[in-house]
Amino acid sequence: MTKPTPDPRHTLTLRDVSEASGVSEMTVSRVLRNRGDVSAPTRAKVLEAARALGYVPNKIAGALASQRVNLVGVVIPSLSNMVFPEVMTGISETLDGTGLQPVVGVTNYLPDREESVIYEMLSWRPSGMIIAGLEHSAASRAMLARAGIPIVEIMDIDGEPINHAVGISHRRAGRQMAEAIIAAGYRKIAFLGTRMPNDFRAKKRLEGFEEALAKAGLALVDSEFYSGGSALLKGREMTAAVLDRTPEVDFLYYSNDMIGAGGLLYCLAQGIDVPGRIGLAGFNGVELLDGLPRKLATMDACRLEIGRKAAQIIAQAPATSQVEELFPTLQPGDTIRRS
Amino acid sequence: MTKPTPDPRHTLTLRDVSEASGVSEMTVSRVLRNRGDVSAPTRAKVLEAARALGYVPNKIAGALASQRVNLVGVVIPSLSNMVFPEVMTGISETLDGTGLQPVVGVTNYLPDREESVIYEMLSWRPSGMIIAGLEHSAASRAMLARAGIPIVEIMDIDGEPINHAVGISHRRAGRQMAEAIIAAGYRKIAFLGTRMPNDFRAKKRLEGFEEALAKAGLALVDSEFYSGGSALLKGREMTAAVLDRTPEVDFLYYSNDMIGAGGLLYCLAQGIDVPGRIGLAGFNGVELLDGLPRKLATMDACRLEIGRKAAQIIAQAPATSQVEELFPTLQPGDTIRRS
DNA sequence: TTGAAAGCGCTAACAC
DNA sequence: GTGTTAGCGCTTTCAA
């Protein structure tokens, strides 16, 4: 089946609407933007002509003339792990009333890619930028700092922001989780996570975690890393590997809820007493956990709230830098209580 | 903690680079775009000056002058259900070599929102548009048809495309699944899905499904709908409700894999014989299924491939409309074999 | 309330 | 190989 491509005739301009309505381009522009005073009859004529023609304004020309762009760049590492979509929801929600529009760029945790995404976005002269993390290449930081627009780094606050920051302390989150685990009586603790050299937040959680263990005179008894593939499946496999290699282990700390969920399903299937024989905990507080046979202990990463606050900062464009620290809540669930 | 916002001094233009390097604006422009012949020394001078100043080109001005925009609009209903992120992956992957950049807009399955997202995107004069589904408001269709750029409607091919289309027949997918279920010996079949008046694809699958049932002299013995919340949890709850209300049911067809997974976990926890006493099937072929204790029957929706093909069409901008039908594969897993 | 002129920062087209 | 000129389609500013 084929039919001709839409005909490439002349794209409509203000001039076309002006001619069709018998009103000057300037007045047409005013009507279309709801600016200034335009008499009701003129307004009606213009609107009718624009509608009839199917006129769509050219924002490129508009932006160049007005030096104003209603776009907000959002740079995130990934869309596929269910944490950033929720951040996006918070951002969209908050931007919705303001006339600003988010534009998403994905870096796949690659610093080079991040740099080019930032460059590309800045070249469209957005009104603000929201970027995941505090770690960026020197060039990226320089571009952002020079851009003359509000920059909000999100998710993390353990570091030096370029301008504004909204997030949680992952270092402290790791520490807190370790303290809860130790308090519950577990002593032979293993870590299971992604092998992601550029996931600085996961790394900081692990650092905080080990720091708190050390303070209690403990160290990890084992650890296991993965990359790629179905997180749920990897969670199962890694859990099997650790239990096999280190049978005395009594707690498994996962770097995210998906692999934690895989581990939980595995333990339940094996008939392992959770949380009696082995305790489990993840990170993120994803909605999926609500549907599991048992509630995995986790820590809410405040994703929605981070998105909202970041968008608010962009919308307000405050004169001074803000750093908003949010505080994740430990959700003990049913997998961290030592009987 | 506060510090001054980046200083809002004059944004750099080609002119600044021109002055700093002692080369005309035009030649600077040529160097920065790798266009035409520029001598090596001139080129080096320009690059050095641009780098030293931290110049970022203004694409708004560039696009206006060249009448060329390297953006591709992608309009999708949602980012949170793990089907569209994979489509996006296919799109990005394919666009990566071409100099084109995807820009995402999310509609939340709301036709009004879709209309405004389309309008907003077209006003940036993108090189092409990729849109989920074949059902759009008359105004949306008109705008797209008039835009004079390649339009690719994705996911579905049961209907009249505006220009190009890439997708599967959901009607047929539903039919095929019903046939497989009937062939396996199940007779008392229930449907569980989202209450989404605007999820036309889920609706078409159900129609095809019921059509095939009717052809075999069967009808659904029960059905259950939900909206919002954790899909995994909803899957559990709906499954419990149906089993309770209609104990004779012997097959549960879910409109997506997440609620199917919830149902599967529920049945296994209840000690129900799956697939002997009750069979189960979902839709989408999400990666998550790999990590479940048993493999849920499903149908791969060809998400990655759809993204790739759609991007290819945009990149090639063929003169005639193309409709690419993809064929989903039934993945019987371990929940559809009647013993 | 409406219109005319100038120009946003860049690139196409043409000269040299 | 490099420079000059003239816009791209809109909005700002100012005048009427």
Work out the average pLDDT over A201-211: 97
pLDDT in tens, A5-38: 333 457 899 999 999 999 999 999 999 999 878 9
Q: Which amino acid is at B314?
A: I
Please give, rounded to a whole number of angstroms, the shortest distance from the CA of A306 to a CA of chain B: 17
Specify the pLDDT at position A338: 75
Res A301 pLDDT > 50? yes
Omega before B275 within 30 of 0, i.e. cis = yes
Nearest to B106 among A60, A92, A148 (CB): A92
Please give, rounded to a whole number of angstroms, the shortest distance from the CA of B144 to a CA of chain A: 9
CB of B233 within 8 Å of a chain A CB? The answer is: yes
Nearest to B104 among A104, A123, A236 (CB): A104
Q: Which domains does chain B have, with CATH numbers?
A: 1-55 (1.10.260.40), 170-300 (3.40.50.2300)
Omega before A275 within 30 of 0, i.e. cis = yes
| Residue to substitute from A16, A75, A79, interface B, most B β-carbons within 10 A | A79
The protein footprint on chain D, as nucleotides within 7 A of a CB, is 1-13
Residue B15 gets the label, from left (phi > 0), alpha (psi -120 to 50) or beta, of: alpha
Res B303 pLDDT > 90? yes
Per DSSP, the three-state class of A106 is strand
CB of A218 within 8 Å of a chain B CB? The answer is: no
Specify the pLDDT at position B36: 80
Cα–Cα dist B189/A203, whole Å: 48
Do the beta carbons of residue B167 and residue B189 sit within 8 Å?
A: no
Work out the average pLDDT over B320-329: 96
Q: Where are the beta strands (DSSP E) in chain B?
A: 71-76, 101-106, 128-132, 151-156, 164-168, 189-194, 222-226, 251-254, 279-281, 298-299, 323-325, 330-331
Decide if A6 and B234 are in contact by the 8 Å CB cutoff. Answer: no
pLDDT in tens, A151-181: 999 999 999 999 999 999 999 999 999 999 9
CA of B260, C1' of C8: distance in angstroms: 56
Nearest to B64 among A60, A288, A320 (CB): A60
Distance of alpha carbon A206 from its chain centroid, rounded? 20
Q: Which residue is nearest to nucleotide C4 (CA to C1')?
A: A26
pLDDT in tens, B139-168: 999 999 999 999 999 999 999 999 999 999
